[in-house]
Structures are given as C-alpha cells and as structure tokens.
Amino acid sequence: MCPPNTQQVSYGRCRCQAMLDEILRLKELRFPYRHGWLALERIREHFDLIKSELGSGIAPGDDPESVHWLVQQPRYWVGHYLPFLGIIERSTSPRTPFEVHAPLLRLARQLAGVDGSSSQSGVSLVLSSEWDEAPLVYPDPRGLRGFVFLGLPAYEADNPLLVPMAGHELGHLAWWRIRADTEWGDMVKEAVSAALDERWAAFRSQCKQAQYPDGAWWLDPSNEDEQTYIDFVDQPAEWALSQCQETFADFVGLLLFGRSYLRAFAYLLTPGLEYPDPGRYPTDSDRARNLRDMAGRLAWRFPSELEDYAALFPVQDAAQPEHREPFQLWLADRARMLLVGRLWSYAAELVQGSGVPQADDAGCAQVRDRFEKGVPAGSPATLSDILNAAWDAMPALVGPAEDPTGPTAWRRKADSLGELVLKSCEILEYEVRTGRTAGALVGARRSRIPRMVAMLKADRIAARLARDAAPRRRDPFVITPLPARSLRDLSTTGSASVDLRLGTWFVVLRRDRLPVLRAGWPSPESHLATTTYVPFGGTYCLHPGTFVLGITLEWIRLPYDLAAYVIGRSSWGRRGLIIATATAVHPGYAGCLTLELSNIGETPVELKPGTTVCQLCIHPVETKEMQIGDASTFAGRRKPIIGSIQLDDVALALSRPAYDGGALPTGYEALGSLTFAELHDRLSGFDLEFGWPPSSELPPEILQPGTESAPCLHARGTHPDGSECEVVLVRVADDMFHAYVRRGAAVS
C-alpha cells in the first residue's frame, strides 16, 4: 500500500472546506422547520472534525493503514452527504406541502416509539422532494442518527393526495427501528426451506434434462458439501427478507391511511414496471394483490371502483425453476408469499400498539361533506380521515381515450381538493397547539336572524355559525378554525365583527425581475414573486417601506345571503402596519382571504402566524336565488396570490392606438382580442406576408412582445377561403392584440 503524501492530505482538507462553505450557504436559506437546519449543523460538525484530524498532520511512525483510512474520509463522506444536502435544500421550496409536516412528524414519532425508547422526540423529519418517480425515505442514515428524510416525487411535490404513500416510507422507519431483520431472519430461512421442499423434485428433474445430469447433486442437503447448499439458500433468503420489508411497509401504509393509500398507490405505480433488482422487490402485481386481500380484513368501506384492484397491475411473469438464479428468485417470491399473513399481523400489532388513529368511515364522511361544500375539515379530524375524504370526493378518472379534457378536469379537481387538504392539516395543527376541539361549536344560542339587519353583531354571527354547523346544511356559513375559543365566547364580545388571524404564507414581488406592472399582464406569481412559508412559532419581519401579501389563517365560506368586508385593526395601524384587502367578500366565496400588509412606520414589524390582524364585518344580502360558489380566481386558495388586472372590452377599445393616424377603415371584420398563442392559431390557415418589404415570417414585434415599436402591423395575402385579404394587428398589451381582416379584390 502506497503511503499517503502531504498533497493528498491537503486535497482532503480543501474538500472538507468546500463542503463547509456549501453548508454555510445552505444554512442561510429560510427553513420553515428547523429540522433541516439541524441536519446541516450535524454534517458541519462532522466535517469540522475530519478537517481537524487531517490538520494534525501525519507523523512518520503512524500506522499506514490508519493514515490511508484517514485521507479517504473526506471523499467518502462527501459522496455520502451530498444527496442529503440536495434534499435539505429542496425542503425549503414553497412547492413542499409544509402543512403535512407536523402530522407526519407525529406519526413518525409514534411509530418510532414502539422500539421501547424513552423518548419519541428523538425523531426529526425533513420533508422534501426527490428526483424519483416514487417517494423515498432515508431513516436514521449514517452520521444523521435520529433524522428521517422523506422525499416526495419532485413532479408531484405539491400534490397532497399522494401523502398516503408516506405511510409506506414510515413503515420502513418502523422496520428499522424495531430491528425486524433480526427477528424475521430465521423465519425467512424456514420459509425458503419450505419453498425448496415444494419444488425440489421438479427442480431436480429440470436439472437432469438440462446441464446437470446428476440432478443438482450440489443442492442436496445430504451431500457432504453442505456449504454449497447454504450458499445457495442464503441468496434467496436475503431477497425474501427484503421483500418482506417492502410488504410490511405496504401494510403499514394501508393501516395508517386506508383506501387513500390504495388509490395513491394505483395512481403512482400502475400499470407496474420491472424493478432493476427483482430479487429484492415483490412485483407491483403481487403488492396490489396483497393489499387487496388484506384490505378485506378492515372495517372500512372498500371503494367500488377498486373492486378489481389487482387488474390495474398486469401479472408479471414469475421466475420459473429452470436453472439456478431464476429458481432462487422463485424461492424468494414463494417464501415471502408464505409469510404474508404473519407480516399483516405483525404490522397490525405495531400500528395498533403505537396509538395511531385508524381510518374511520364516519369521520371520513363528515370531512367529505365539508369538502363538497368547499370547506376544510373541522375538528375532530385525523390525517387519515382528511386524505380518505379527499380521494372519495375525487371523480373517477375514466372516460373515452380520445377525450383530452378528462385528465385536465381531473387534475383541476385534484388541485382544488389539495388546497382543502392542506388547509385542513393546518387547522389540525392549530387545534393540537391551542387545545381547541369541536366543542367550540357548542354554547351559542340558535336564534332566528332577522331578515333586515344592516350588519350582524357577534351574537348573531355565532348563532348563524351554530345553525349552519349541521351536516345537512346545503349552503352553510363557515369560519374555520373558529377565531374565539368557543361560540359562547364569540357571542359575548359585543362587537360587530369577527377578528381574523394571520396565516402562514407570504408573497412578495421580486424587484430584480419586475421592471413595471401593467394592466393586462398575466399573473406574475410564477417567476416574479417569492413565496415564503412561516410555520406556527416562526416570524416574518416586515421592514419599513416594504409591502407583502399575507393570508388569513381562517378559511371563510359565505352563503348566498351573506357578504362581508375586511378592515384592519387600529392597534396595528398605530404602529405603522396598514392591513388592507380588496375589502369586499362576495356571497358564495370560499377560501382564505388575501391581506395586503404595508409597513409605513419607521420600525421593523415582526409578524407571527396566529396573531389577530384584521376584522371581518358581515351583513345580509337581499336575494331570492341561491347562487352557490364564487367564480373569483382568488377563491378556494390557502396561499395569497397576486392575480392579474384584466382589460375589459371598453378598456381595450380606449387603449387601442389610432390606426394610421385615424379611425379604422370600413370593411374590416374584427377577429377579436387575442393573445399571441391564440393569434398564432387563428391565423394558421392564412397565407400572409407581414410588413414591407413582405416576409413570410411573423415579424419580431409579434415574436417578441414587449417592444414599443410598431404597435400597428399590416399583412397582405390569401384568406383560407382563397380570396385576397389584408390583416391589421394592433397590440394593446404585451401579449394582447386586436386583429382585423378585410377580404376582396379591393384590398389596398
């Protein structure tokens, strides 16, 4: 072995310093939960130690093997930790469903606590995304004991309907925490031996007909070469143990989340693929069949559309006992099948012993009723009830294959329910922290509300909330979570409004990317705004002269006969914080209310989620028709959005520049107001030459909207009907055009 030289030590120290610099950069990110930051601190301490040991130098008499091991440490640990740094960085992305972090953390701690540890608080959860098609988990990784890294698929990171798949990953956590490999190792070997006995005669016959005329003598246990037999059986036993862990994790997910786990599993994994290491994983068809069989043992209602669940996963070819390796694969599969019943009992005992609440049809039905009315789940509700209700409310994704709108409509519905799911999780955490339960709806007098009331006082508001809390109310008035400790407390305040609290999401425009805001521009959220999540207990600092969009913690649903408006609290205004909204909240609105927060004072203001910041004043609306729903783009959202200012026909007509110094010539037909994409589609059948000199290509002024030159463009050519024509395009906004066409031989 060549002894390490000084240059190798220097390289190692530089590598450690580079990692320390990267960790320092990552620690400057805004972490909604400190678990990611604490993981970075653990990694930093490790590299500080390695760098210190390398800095002590190498003495001539040092053991060469020990020195060689030392200089290898930087490269080894860099490769080990880099994937975790990526997961930690992505855990700060606003696409991460932060609201499910606290419920999942409680589940992880409850499942990890079954190992007999004295404290469950030793589990830290980093919820992030992974560049993988399926969720991944890294529980207790080397060097990061006590941390669980849960990565949702990056392309579905903001889809809470897939959260049930986290149950599978938490099953892996429980398996490792209780050291089930040790307990199940002997049982798996016994199952492999039993499987071998089943097919021994057939396998030996196959060997005689193939390349082993002696009939696989090397596998006969009576043979003197016993080690050959042991080596042969050890491989399928190792594979079978891995398959047992996967099956156990599936059962834990099913027990934790019920039918929502079945649906999320089907959505992500159908129609099934072959794994690169088939020995370690059961086929997707086997997994689906096991889930369907075991789901029949549970008390909850099985979804009708999943009755033929296993048919979603075509049966994959099983390994046939033809020669050595396929026979070993068959032994592993068969051994796992023999243990399925015991694995189910093992998982059920563990989940029940952890105290995790199970899926409940009655609770799920209550939550679904609220979801269908556009209202988040109320208390009491569990994470399992919330997710099952969301999937129950989803329409079946079936229809003609040629119908292109089916998946789009389904996805739109999924996004809408996703907002309700995440808001329900936030309300669940609010109730856990404050100790408020469904009893808050008790104690208000259900009095009759007079029709002609200018504004509802607090006692009238409480009475209406109590009346509409009945499950069968078609068009209820809902404020959830309730701002007061109970309706009785609310009814005795004597005020003519309801105090609302600050939520957990903030949006601020990025000045470096936004030169100017113009009417008619699309909403700038995607690339011109920064979204920040601040969990309960965190703070957001609003500096003097700055502006940010906030959101109310409460989800409001107004019935057809009530409207409202929002005003700020004077106690904040006296400190320089101006809290405004679009003021009016129309009948049928459902969602959180966006707040415009401006600090016009001279001192930074610290904003804490959960603080009362504004007031909701409610008044009746005279109407004879029930109109449920609000078409506003701001409705049904848990995050603040900027939205866009649309130009109506009048504004577009008034903003249109004059054509050629005067009015538009007669004889022109208006094609309408079109975006660039719509314009391209509308003119696809024309044969036009734009501008002078003529050109067969669209000019730069259209291909690059935003330039101020040539707001009025001309084109000559042939209409789709074959006649000559002239087209005039007038740009009224960066991505909006008025289009006119004149046909006939009289084209000038």
Q: Is 41 a catalytic residue?
A: no
Distance CA 518, CA 223 (A): 86
Number of residues assigned to the chain: 748
User: How many alpha carbons fall within 13 Å on the CB side of residue 659?
Assistant: 15
SS3 at position 129: strand
User: How many alpha carbons fall within 13 Å on the CB side of residue 322?
Assistant: 4
How many CB atoms lie under 10 A from the CB of residue 652?
17
- How many Å separate Cα 534 from the centre of its chain? 17
Query: Phi and psi dihedrals of 377, rounded to 5?
Result: -65, 145
| Nearest residue to 252 (alpha-carbon basis) of 345, 364, 368 | 345
| CA–CA–CA angle 264, 265, 270 (5° rounding) | 115
How many CB atoms lie under 10 A from the CB of residue 106?
18
Distance CA 587, CA 199 (A): 71
Cβ–Cβ < 8 Å for 642, 524: yes
Distance CA 149, CA 129 (A): 9
Query: Phi and psi dihedrals of 223, rounded to 5?
Result: -65, 145
First to last CA, the chain: 89
DSSP codes, 461-479: HHHHHHHHTSTT-SS--EE
Instruction: Dihedral sign for Cα 654, 659, 663, 669, please.
Output: negative
Q: In this structure, what token pair is assigned to residue 53?
A: 């040991």
Helix, strand, coil percentages (3-state) for the chain, rounded to 5, are: 45, 15, 40
Distance CA 462, CA 444 (A): 6
Residue at 298: amino acid letter: L
Catalytic residue among 53, 89, 596, 678: 596
Distance CA 508, CA 531 (A): 7
Distance CA 362, CA 359 (A): 9
- Residues 414/419/425/430 CA torsion (nearest 10 deg): -170
The residues near 127 (Cβ < 8 Å, ≥ 6 apart) are: 33, 91, 96, 97, 98, 100, 101, 104, 150, 152
Cβ–Cβ < 8 Å for 393, 417: yes
Instruction: Dihedral sign for Cα 105, 107, 110, 111, please.
Output: negative
Instruction: Dihedral sign for Cα 13, 19, 24, 25, please.
Output: positive
Distance CA 615, CA 496 (A): 9
Distance CA 476, CA 588 (A): 10
Q: In this structure, what token pair is assigned to residue 488?
A: 């009785």
DSSP codes, 188-214: HHHHHHHHHHHHHHHHHHHHHHTT-TT
Query: Edge to edge, what strands does the sheet with 498-501 contain?
Result: 498-501, 612-620, 562-568, 584-585
SS3 for 498-523, per residue? EEEEECCEEEEECHHHCCCCCCCCCC
Q: Which helix (H) or strand (E) holds 283?
A: none
Instruction: Indicate which residues carry an active-site annotation.
Output: 596
